[in-house]
Structure formats: structure tokens, C-alpha cells
Amino acid sequence: MNKQNIFFLLAAFALFGTACGQNKSVSEPPMMTNETTEAQEKAAILAVLNNETKAAFERDYELWKTYWVYESYVSKTYLNFADSTMTETLGWQQVDDFVRTYIVEHPQPAPLPDPLTDIDVRLYGTGAAVTYEQIDPERGRKREMRLMEKSSGEWRIAGMQTVIYGDVKQF
């Protein structure tokens, strides 16, 4: 069989598979189709992010932890280019211990960044990946990625990765 025939057969199989719907994964999560629902989910996620940030900056530990998932796969990572530090906490217990200790050691509220209004949200069934940029009054520009999970109708944070770039004037 020559190369042209092999190419033709491969193309025919690909078209046949597509026409039969065999290229879809059985385990693929349900996709949101209603724009109103997507807007509502984005608004709910935005509220969780702003409320969690406010609770953390105001040092309200009890409120802060209500916005998180309490599972072993939770993670929280900071990369701080401004002072060349990095912290990584894995699992709810470590995340909880890290934040609780930080609040005890730094009890004074910190200046709040402006509330988020523009976030990029990718919904995946009962999960979402969220990215955004924010100016922190004390740390400067930062980019964050949050992994969200929806459980019992409520969005919660299951992962947080923050990159701190520092002084806004540098950029």
C-alpha cells in the first residue's frame, strides 16, 4: 500500500469517527450551555474570591476558612519575585496551619486591594479554573490562579497559586 492510500484510509477513519461521535470522551464533564448560568456562576465565584481576600486581609481566620475546601489535595503556593521567596503548602491541614500561624504572627489588618471585577473563568462541571491580576497595596502587582470546586451549591477554593511581581512602578 502506498503513502497516498494510507493517508486516504487515515482521513476516512478520522471522518468516520467524527461523524459517529466517537471522538468524544465518555468521562467528559458536562458543559455549561446557558449564558445566564455562566454569568451567575462567574458572579458567585467572584464573590467568593473577594470575600476570601477581605477575610484574609482583615485577619478574620474563622471567616477565611469557610471559603476553602478541606481536603488533602488542597494547595497554596506563593512565588514572590520581589523578595525572592517561595512558599508551598500542600493539603488542607498545612494550608490551614500556615494561614492560622500567619494571622497570629501578623494580627493587624492589611490594606485591602481593590475588589476584583475582571476575572477569567473556565467552568468544568462542578469545577472552575480562575485567573486574574490584582494590585496589592503592600506587595504590588500579582497574578493569581484559583482552582474552585462547587459543593452543595457553594463555590470553594481548592487551590491557589500566586505570583507576586512587586512594585507596580517597575512595570
Q: What is the mean pLDDT of each run of 10 residues along the chain (171 residues)?
A: 45 41 45 71 97 97 98 96 93 97 96 95 96 92 96 96 80 44
Quick one: pLDDT at residue 5? 46
pTM: 0.76
Calpha distance 139→83 (Å, rounded): 10
Quick one: pLDDT at residue 82? 87
CATH (one of 3.30.930.10, 3.40.50.720, 2.40.30.170, 3.10.450.50) for 30-170? 3.10.450.50
Among residues 47, 40, 49, 91, which one has the least CA distance to residue 70? Answer: 91
Quick one: pLDDT at residue 36? 64
Residue 92 CB neighbour total at 10 angstroms: 19
Give me 125's grid cell. Answer: 462541571
Calpha distance 91→76 (Å, rounded): 9
Q: How far apart are the first and last CA of the chain?
A: 59
Quick one: pLDDT at residue 166? 86
Quick one: pLDDT at residue 12? 42
Quick one: pLDDT at residue 87? 94
> Which sequence spans correspond to the domains of the chain?
30-170
